[in-house]
Structure 1
Amino acid sequence: MHSERFRPLVDAKGPFVSIYFDDSHDTQDAAAQLDARLRDVRKHLEEQSVDASVIEAIESAVRGARPPVGRSGRALIAAGGAVVADEHLIRPPATTQLRVSELPYLIPIVEHGLLHTTYLVVAVDHTGADITVHRPGKVSHETLDGEGRPVHKAKTAEGHEYGTAQGKVDEAVRKNIRAVADRVTHLVDDVGAELVFIEGEAGARTELASALPERAADKVVQLQGGGRAAGTDEAEVRHEIGQEFLKRRLATIDDAAQRFAAGRGTGLAVEGLADVTAALRDGAVDTLIIGELGDATVVADADLATVAPDADTLSALGGAPERTLRADEALPLLAAATGAALVRTDERLSPADGVGAVLRYAENSSAG
């Protein structure tokens, strides 16, 4: 996962409130369940003496957002009386996770967050398309109705008239599909979309994909569900999109696992708190691999510029060990500060101390 999405958190001032909860909207009592979760969150935050303005900002963000479709999780991080991160998750957490701490807790977003990418969802038929542009923090919609008519053969067409009528229909459909393809291509170029999800009747999907130039066609993922007709199952569309993101996330983990394995013994991969914090200090980390860190801690100077696994190491580096921080909060934030990618491990990776890194260049020495 690219870390640019976390850059605003690097400069934000704590304490931070990090909340992860199930905000699925797939049952009749979904609204009541959400109310109950928010009451529980409020109670826990009040018990930890969180300022009322922060609690109100969190509740406003949740209630002010459009309800999700189907199964969904929600991530909220607040600081300084404002919500500084607000995202939906592909998978809801099994239980509500809540932290009030000096640094933001990012790992659940790394593990279950949607890809922080710009993509299009195009619901197409032979008359035009409904196009939704998803950008980080912004969603926009537009409808394109093609000028080609008719798109259905007249029932009265018989004999020699059939060929003429069908030809007119075919040309009208081609005209409309070309118009949609032109608009989709323009949007791909304009917003830098990385994916184009196409939903609708199979024939229209295939025709649109074929009409796109290669630079846009290479980004196409055809969905089996959805369409322009009323009553379309939005939950199925969301599920298919989530599965595509999950597939890409697994491919990213697989790539990180291969690079980590290849880098061992070459100086291009390190593991364990000592060597990983050393690489982060040097700005050498290309990809931080986060496993099960448990309650491990690191120590840092006042401004988080120098971080080490223990006070003796920090003192040897000339730093003053003024802060003891959770490793699962400090290391991802440091990775974001240096532009490193973040990957949550699965069974393919078990780095020492629960953390490893693929490096941008070979380290000549480890921490010590």
Structure 2
Amino acid sequence: MRLSFLEPLYTESGPFASVYLDTSRNIEQPDRAVALRWRRLRADLTRQGADRALLGVLEEAVGADAELPGTHGQAIFAANGSLVMEGELPHPPDRDSARYSTLPDAMPLVTQHLPEIPYLAVVVRYGGPPTAEAHGWVTVEAESGTWPASTVSPGERLHHNVAVATWHHSAVRLGQRLDAWARRVHADAVVVAGDPWAGNVLVRRLPQALRHKVVRVGGPSPTDTGRALLEPQLDSVFRGRMAEHDRELMNVFIGRRALGGPVTEGLARTVAALQRGQVAALLLNHPPAASQRLWTGPEPTQLALTEEELAAFGVRAPREEPADEALVRALVGTAAELVVVPEDDLELAEGVGALLRYADSGTPV
């Protein structure tokens, strides 16, 4: 998973206010519920030392996703009296939280983006009997996205109407268009729903490479809900699945480890590699526990297991911070990727490892 979307967070110096809030609209009086939730978080931030100007900036952003239907949440980050980042969460947070700290609390936002699978969703509707002589139409709705974030932030949308009499020929051109689109967004899958006959015509005319990525699904396919196209079906297709890009990185790690190549495992060795900007991709079996801490300095690569280690590097006044906050900052600051790997697929020493950009000799790989 590439973390470039977090770069705006680290253009500001701290301290940061990080807010995670349930802003679902599928309840009675949702505005009142959100206001009550925010009131509790505001009091919590005040106790932590946030000033009124910062609280005012946050309050203006709370509930800005009111037009989004259904269940969802909001992540809001502010620093130095300004809003730094705000975005919708595909699922409400496990619990509302607010933290005022040196580093932004970004890991909950990252985990809501996982496994970050790019896809196309296609719904094919048909009106009339399936004969070339028939009067009728075929309607195609298609949308790109990256699951699960796309459930609340859908991508590009296509709407196409075709006369039934020309559907066999038009499906060829449409298939080519979908193929180019899928290549552009690096889609792992094409999820297709709707009328069986019209859908089969389209699927059979897709280029072979794209046809192998097709997943047929059933069930309702609303297109005007304000949420992602085929949202319920996407969950059943992608839950428990890794993005192909991340699986490739995992397989590279497994191959290099077997051959004694440039990888590392265990927290101490991985932190040492992050200090050198050596990590191309950090692999985790699960995010660090809330109680796990690292010592940090003002720069992304200034992190260590002990205060003494950072002091030996010349870092003045190191601070002890949650490990997940320090790790995310280091990954963003060194343009490294993050891959969360199920233990059943790859068990890592202490739950952490890394693909390295170069071996210890300094030679790039």
In the TM superposition, residue 327 of structure 1 has moved relative to its aligned partner by 1.8
Q: 2:139 aligns with which of 115, 128, 131?
A: 128
In the TM superposition, residue 233 of structure 1 has moved relative to its aligned partner by 12
Name the structure 2 match of 1:72.
72
The reply to whether residue 359 of structure 1 matches residue 341 of structure 2 is: no
Q: Is residue 21–residue 74 contact of structure 1 (8 Å, CA) maintained in 2?
A: yes
Amino acid at match of 1:225: G
Amino acid at match of 2:121: V
Q: What TM-score does the superposition give when structure 2 sets the normalisation length?
A: 0.74
Q: What's the secondary structure of 2:288's corresponding residue?
A: coil
* Matched pairs, number: 340
Q: C-alpha deviations, 1:65-118, integer Å up to 9, x for none?
A: 2655544344333334114242423x4332223222111222223333255565
The reply to whether residue 303 of structure 1 matches residue 304 of structure 2 is: no
Amino acid at match of 2:178: V
Q: What TM-score does the superposition give when structure 1 sets the normalisation length?
A: 0.74
Q: Is residue 297–residue 326 contact of structure 1 (8 Å, CA) maintained in 2?
A: yes
Q: C-alpha deviations, 1:200-258, integer Å up to 9, x for none?
A: 2233333222222235434433332333688x897993232234443333884797499
Q: C-alpha deviations, 1:259-278, integer Å up to 9, x for none?
A: 36973893644344432221
| Deviates most, 259-268 or 98-107 | 259-268
Q: 1:239 aligns with which of 229, 232, 236?
A: 232
Q: Is residue 19–residue 75 contact of structure 1 (8 Å, CA) maintained in 2?
A: yes
Amino acid at match of 1:212: L
Q: C-alpha deviations, 1:289-332, integer Å up to 9, x for none?
A: 25434433333343344322223222333444543332221112
Written as runs of structure 1 = structure 2, the 5 A alignment for 1:56-135 is: 56-65=56-65, 67-68=67-68, 70-80=70-80, 81-89=82-90, 91-116=91-116, 119-126=119-126, 127-134=138-145
Q: Is residue 294–residue 305 contact of structure 2 (8 Å, CA) maintained in 1?
A: yes
Q: Distance in 2 between matches of 1:311 and 1:363?
A: 24
Name the structure 1 match of 2:157.
141
TM-align CA RMSD: 3.9
Q: What's the secondary structure of 1:221's corresponding residue?
A: strand
Q: C-alpha deviations, 1:19-65, integer Å up to 9, x for none?
A: 33434444455554334323333332333343445444444445332
Q: What's the secondary structure of 1:330's corresponding residue?
A: helix
- From the superposition, tell whether residues 309 and 130 of structure 1 become closer, same or farther in structure 2 (CA, over 3 Å): same
Q: What's the secondary structure of 2:13's corresponding residue?
A: coil
In the TM superposition, residue 347 of structure 1 has moved relative to its aligned partner by 5.0
The reply to whether residue 315 of structure 1 matches residue 311 of structure 2 is: yes
Name the structure 1 match of 2:272.
278
Name the structure 2 match of 1:160.
none
Q: Is residue 130–residue 228 contact of structure 1 (8 Å, CA) maintained in 2?
A: no
Unmatched tracts of structure 1, length 5 or more: 152-170
Q: C-alpha deviations, 1:142-174, integer Å up to 9, x for none?
A: 42222x2xx4xxxxxxxxxxxxxxxxxxx4332
In the TM superposition, residue 281 of structure 1 has moved relative to its aligned partner by 1.6
Q: What's the secondary structure of 2:233's corresponding residue?
A: helix
Amino acid at match of 1:130: E
- Larger-Rg structure: 1
Q: Is residue 176–residue 207 contact of structure 2 (8 Å, CA) maintained in 1?
A: no
Amino acid at match of 1:333: R
Q: Distance in 1 between matches of 2:99 and 2:117?
A: 27
Q: 1:223 aligns with which of 209, 217, 226?
A: 217
- From the superposition, tell whether residues 183 and 66 of structure 1 become closer, same or farther in structure 2 (CA, over 3 Å): farther
In the TM superposition, residue 363 of structure 1 has moved relative to its aligned partner by 3.9
- From the superposition, tell whether residues 105 and 254 of structure 1 become closer, same or farther in structure 2 (CA, over 3 Å): farther
- From the superposition, tell whether residues 190 and 76 of structure 1 become closer, same or farther in structure 2 (CA, over 3 Å): same
Q: Distance in 2 between matches of 1:363 and 1:313?
A: 19
Q: Is residue 65–residue 88 contact of structure 2 (8 Å, CA) maintained in 1?
A: no
Between Structure 1 and Structure 2, the one with more helix by share is 1
Q: What's the secondary structure of 2:92's corresponding residue?
A: coil
- From the superposition, tell whether residues 236 and 9 of structure 1 become closer, same or farther in structure 2 (CA, over 3 Å): closer
